[in-house]
Chain A
């Protein structure tokens, strides 16, 4: 984890510094000085401060509205509590769960306490230890056996058993679990057993002794005296349920927030395309959402989990998504990208040329040349459907070339990475050439514009280039992730529960797509969007800088409510056995594992379920409170 943070900071800093250095070098080449753009920068800074002040004011006002609702405050408190617990789980928990999804590297051995003890049971202070009778007989081990715990990580980081102070022997068992006479072992002193002669004559190779122990190291430091027992009981494998639930909060929060975030991102992209472009695209996307809505959510998610069954690594999937995004941006938005780089608008496109040609034809000579007209009309249709064509092209490339370029289950090799990067640059140059061809601009002009676009003095050029930078850095990250030399790990073994997450993202996006589409349809007709259009702002800019910022409010509410919903569905999927393996510290799995012992060991089901309830309730209450803030009726 820390490796990841370090590397991430390092690479971001590297990219940022190299960008600024590049900008300054370009400025020097052109003979610009540091002081040239100073006024622009100062103005930009003051504008930024002003916006910041406005934002602080808005937040204060929202907090005033939020404060009125006691329920919302309760929700916020619940969420803060759960997040705090998940952050400090290492310090609060008594033992680490056997399978720890967060820190797989710091694997702890379970302190194998007795099985399925009730909350606050005395037996939680018991420990089970094997004594090797066969070893004593044949290899001459000492008959004095020290009482030690199972290996735990000690202060210096190594794996060591801790010595335990014996209070009394509870019972003895042989290998097969049959109970033996307690007098076979004698407690020699506080920390050692003496193996009697009778014990050596028992026909078993190992004796399991269960004894009560007293050790400050092995107890909860934060519990008051007299409560040195597992407060929520132990699971069927003898692990402390309370610790497992604490660690489960990490997984649940992570799943909830990741899935909700990805769902929002996917839904927003698709919904805004649908709402902004309208027409055939809108119709198509809405029919797709209809299909998704027709199947009940849980069953749809189950179908997706089934489809993902044999995919073991997330790397390919993540890279696929990144690649598709790149493909999408570089094909359908290539005009926008070309504009970003050259700073010019595409006004005279092929489309308008053909249209003018058509009108020319219509004026006089056309009647004799229906074929030409048909051809031109066909070209016009192609250009009108440009977006669709590029999408189909992208999909085809993905379907047929992908497995060739990138066999599933394998990481990306350096040559393939080079191929990918070169493909991206190809797209980039195609878009530049496209513009060049459309407008008849000389390449010299474009290179001049390009060099000016890397302008440190102009903050808005910086913003435009930032978009490109993000994509390049995404690719860089993916490349670096898979090369064996680097210690940078982005998505490798990201989470064992990723199948559930992917399924939930794929299930959830249509809701957001519809929400955003409605918002975009509404905002699109507003005056400020029209104003932006009339000064010739490209579609991408209108979308991201004008429309989406106005649509964030319902999104935020939906996001908050969705985090709760996702935690519920994810635990439901885990419960029916589609998520993590049994024994994982995940709430759904804990309930599912405890179900075998229900209702006798009621705590195994009750407490993890309560944890799910509390977390979901927190997010839902918070979302409800946020809805009040967003509600225009409350804007006073």
Chain B
């Protein structure tokens, strides 16, 4: 099977799952004890409009609530495809717009956390497998289990306390990483996406790490020279964004490290028993080279699949970190929406996270198929 054919087949297989998710979100909205028609008009529900109906009644007709359930579902799906995901009562704006703003924030956080957690997990896993059943292996086994058992929200707050407010505790870190300028109090800011002293231009992609190089540099009026001056350079903005992202991402990275460590260890141990590793050893290649070149590269292939699931875990964990670090991402949006029973927002968030998760898994599968062509034959 060719790669294109494989990709097309996988894409087609996605459709029923996404439809299933849409049925699920629709069912949730049916069960949620909130009247969307009443929520939209609020206090003005009794006002009679030009067509002789009250605002409430016209809302009922507009939303199609007087139709049978299956017809409502069809309308829902049609609206989804047309891009009309409803109006959020909590945020007073269309769901799609809010999600367009929120999704990059969560994605940025998830991807950066994986970028941090992946090397940690892989490195620890390699050492753990190389020194199998030694003290380091036992210790890393404990660490892996402990990392999985850590409550993310608690860990995040501990980091806020230790790295965010304790003066002087991370001087060595700031010296080692010169891109993080000194912060008052601790070394990392404990909430927000950027420093409150400037406004980040929202003309870019929404991913601030990328945007900081794309958007125009913010200017400030300087009364002494009587002209506008650049207050933040690209580099300043990037460093500031990274600084703000570091703590939530590091928290999520720790949570994902445990699983990666264990999978890497198991995978590497399996590869070490393969014939080609034995051959490489018999050829007299140094042990380091055998492990790094022959074993680890092959052991990494199945780890790629784990990455797909880690993205789901990171998005789920982002609900907690976003709440704690005050990031207006999808997790925070979902929490706010649920508190006010804003059903269209809940539907939207659930659907979008599902689509993101499925697409990232698809990407992982495709890359897996490129690396290991045997997969395509299934």
Q: Judge whether A552 is part of the interface by a CB distance below 8 angstroms.
A: no
Q: Judge whether A16 is part of the interface by a CB distance below 8 angstroms.
A: no
Chain B minimum-CB-distance residue to A587? B151
Chain B minimum-CB-distance residue to A606? B158
Q: Judge whether B21 is part of the interface by a CB distance below 8 angstroms.
A: yes
Complex CA distance for A205 and B56, rounded to whole angstroms: 51
B298 → chain A, closest Cβ, in Å? 22
**B20 and A602 within 8 A (CB):** no
**B320 and A572 within 8 A (CB):** yes
**A299 and B349 within 8 A (CB):** yes
**B323 and A576 within 8 A (CB):** yes
Residues of chain A lying within 8 A (CB to CB) of residue B146: 613, 617
Given known pairs A575-B320, A606-B158, the reply for A621 and B145 (CB within 8 Å) is yes
Q: Judge whether A306 is part of the interface by a CB distance below 8 angstroms.
A: yes
**B320 and A576 within 8 A (CB):** yes
Residue from A300, A305, A576, A613 within 8 A of B154 (CB atoms): A613
**B161 and A307 within 8 A (CB):** no
Stretch at the interface among B28-36, B117-125, B211-219, B246-254: B28-36
**A598 and B150 within 8 A (CB):** no
Given known pairs A575-B153, A577-B339, A598-B160, the reply for A288 and B20 (CB within 8 Å) is yes
Contact flags B299-340 to A (C-beta < 8 A → 1, else 0)? 000000000000011011101100110000001001100110
Complex CA distance for A608 and B153, rounded to whole angstroms: 12
Q: Judge whether B354 is part of the interface by a CB distance below 8 angstroms.
A: yes
Q: Judge whether B296 is part of the interface by a CB distance below 8 angstroms.
A: no
B191 → chain A, closest Cβ, in Å? 12
Complex CA distance for A68 and B338, rounded to whole angstroms: 47
Given known pairs A599-B161, A617-B145, the reply for A571 and B315 (CB within 8 Å) is no
Q: Judge whether B149 is part of the interface by a CB distance below 8 angstroms.
A: yes
Stretch at the interface among A209-217, A226-234, A290-298, A489-497: A290-298
Chain B minimum-CB-distance residue to A618? B149
B1-20 contacts to A (CB < 8 Å): 16-18, 20
Given known pairs A287-B17, A294-B357, the reply for A605 and B154 (CB within 8 Å) is yes
**A624 and B145 within 8 A (CB):** yes
With a 10 A CB-CB cut-off, give which of A288, A306, A609, A613 has the most chain B CB atoms. Answer: A306
Contact flags A188-199 to B (C-beta < 8 A → 1, else 0)? 000000000000
Q: Judge whether B142 is part of the interface by a CB distance below 8 angstroms.
A: yes
Complex CA distance for A576 and B17, rounded to whole angstroms: 29
A636 → chain B, closest Cβ, in Å? 16
Q: Judge whether A310 is part of the interface by a CB distance below 8 angstroms.
A: yes
Residues of chain B lying within 8 A (CB to CB) of residue A148: none
Chain A minimum-CB-distance residue to B255? A568
Complex CA distance for A300 and B354, rounded to whole angstroms: 10
Q: Judge whether A302 is part of the interface by a CB distance below 8 angstroms.
A: yes
Number of interface residues of A (CB under 8 A): 47
Q: Judge whether B72 is part of the interface by a CB distance below 8 angstroms.
A: no
Residues of chain A lying within 8 A (CB to CB) of residue B58: none
Q: Judge whether A85 is part of the interface by a CB distance below 8 angstroms.
A: no
A312 → chain B, closest Cβ, in Å? 11
A-B contact count (CB 8 A): 146
Q: Judge whether A521 is part of the interface by a CB distance below 8 angstroms.
A: no
**B319 and A306 within 8 A (CB):** no
Given known pairs A291-B24, A296-B312, A307-B31, the reply for A598 and B157 (CB within 8 Å) is yes
Residues of chain A lying within 8 A (CB to CB) of residue B313: 296-297
Residues of chain B lying within 8 A (CB to CB) of residue A576: 319-320, 323, 335
Residues of chain A lying within 8 A (CB to CB) of residue B158: 605-606, 609
With a 10 A CB-CB cut-off, give which of A296, A306, A621 has the most chain B CB atoms. Answer: A296
Q: Judge whether B54 is part of the interface by a CB distance below 8 angstroms.
A: no
**B316 and A609 within 8 A (CB):** no
Complex CA distance for A100 and B165, rounded to whole angstroms: 35
B43 → chain A, closest Cβ, in Å? 22
Q: Judge whether B244 is part of the interface by a CB distance below 8 angstroms.
A: no
**B350 and A300 within 8 A (CB):** yes
**B33 and A309 within 8 A (CB):** yes
Residues of chain B lying within 8 A (CB to CB) of residue A621: 142, 145
B242 → chain A, closest Cβ, in Å? 23
**B335 and A291 within 8 A (CB):** no
Given known pairs A287-B17, A609-B151, A617-B145, the reply for A591 and B138 (CB within 8 Å) is no
Given known pairs A294-B357, A572-B153, the reply for A299 and B145 (CB within 8 Å) is no
Q: Judge whether B141 is part of the interface by a CB distance below 8 angstroms.
A: yes
**B353 and A295 within 8 A (CB):** yes
B278-304 contacts to A (CB < 8 Å): none
Q: Judge whether A612 is part of the interface by a CB distance below 8 angstroms.
A: yes
Residue from B141, B149, B316, B331 within 8 A of A71 (CB atoms): B141
**B20 and A291 within 8 A (CB):** yes
Q: Judge whether A595 is part of the interface by a CB distance below 8 angstroms.
A: yes
Complex CA distance for A93 and B108, rounded to whole angstroms: 45
**A298 and B33 within 8 A (CB):** no
Residue from B18, B145, B148, B161 within 8 A of A598 (CB atoms): B161
**B152 and A572 within 8 A (CB):** yes
Contact flags B106-149 to A (C-beta < 8 A → 1, else 0)? 00000000000000000000000000000000100110011011
Residue from B149, B324, B341 within 8 A of A306 (CB atoms): B341
Chain B minimum-CB-distance residue to A595? B157
B155-178 contacts to A (CB < 8 Å): 155, 157-158, 160-161, 165
Given known pairs A295-B350, A564-B149, the reply for A609 and B315 (CB within 8 Å) is no
Q: Judge whether A578 is part of the interface by a CB distance below 8 angstroms.
A: yes
Q: Judge whether B358 is part of the interface by a CB distance below 8 angstroms.
A: yes
**B316 and A298 within 8 A (CB):** yes
Chain B minimum-CB-distance residue to A575? B153
Given known pairs A576-B323, A599-B165, the reply for A294 and B316 (CB within 8 Å) is no
Chain A minimum-CB-distance residue to B151? A612
Q: Judge whether B346 is part of the interface by a CB distance below 8 angstroms.
A: yes
Residues of chain B lying within 8 A (CB to CB) of residue A287: 16-17, 20
A474-507 contacts to B (CB < 8 Å): none
With a 10 A CB-CB cut-off, give which of A291, A295, A305, A595 has the most chain B CB atoms. Answer: A295
**A291 and B17 within 8 A (CB):** yes
Chain B minimum-CB-distance residue to A292? B24
**B32 and A298 within 8 A (CB):** no
**A71 and B138 within 8 A (CB):** yes
B201 → chain A, closest Cβ, in Å? 30
Q: Judge whether A584 is part of the interface by a CB distance below 8 angstroms.
A: no
A362 → chain B, closest Cβ, in Å? 37
Complex CA distance for A299 and B150, rounded to whole angstroms: 19
Q: Judge whether A86 is part of the interface by a CB distance below 8 angstroms.
A: no
Q: Judge whether A303 is part of the interface by a CB distance below 8 angstroms.
A: yes
Q: Judge whether A620 is part of the interface by a CB distance below 8 angstroms.
A: yes
Residue from B25, B32, B335, B357 within 8 A of A577 (CB atoms): B335
Chain A minimum-CB-distance residue to B30? A307
**B316 and A296 within 8 A (CB):** yes
* Apart from A299-B353, A306-B341, 14 more pairs, CB < 8 Å: A71-B142, A290-B17, A296-B357, A299-B349, A303-B28, A305-B338, A306-B343, A309-B32, A575-B323, A576-B335, A588-B153, A591-B151, A599-B165, A605-B154
| Sample (6) of A-B pairs whose CB atoms are under 8 Å apart | A294-B357, A296-B312, A599-B157, A613-B150, A617-B146, A621-B145
Q: Which 7 A-B pairs have the closest CB atoms?
A: A609-B154, A310-B33, A291-B20, A296-B316, A298-B316, A616-B149, A307-B31
Q: A residues within 8 Å of B by Cβ? A: 70-71, 287-288, 290-291, 294-300, 302-310, 564, 568, 571-572, 575-578, 588, 591, 595, 598-599, 602, 605-606, 608-609, 612-613, 616-617, 620-621, 624
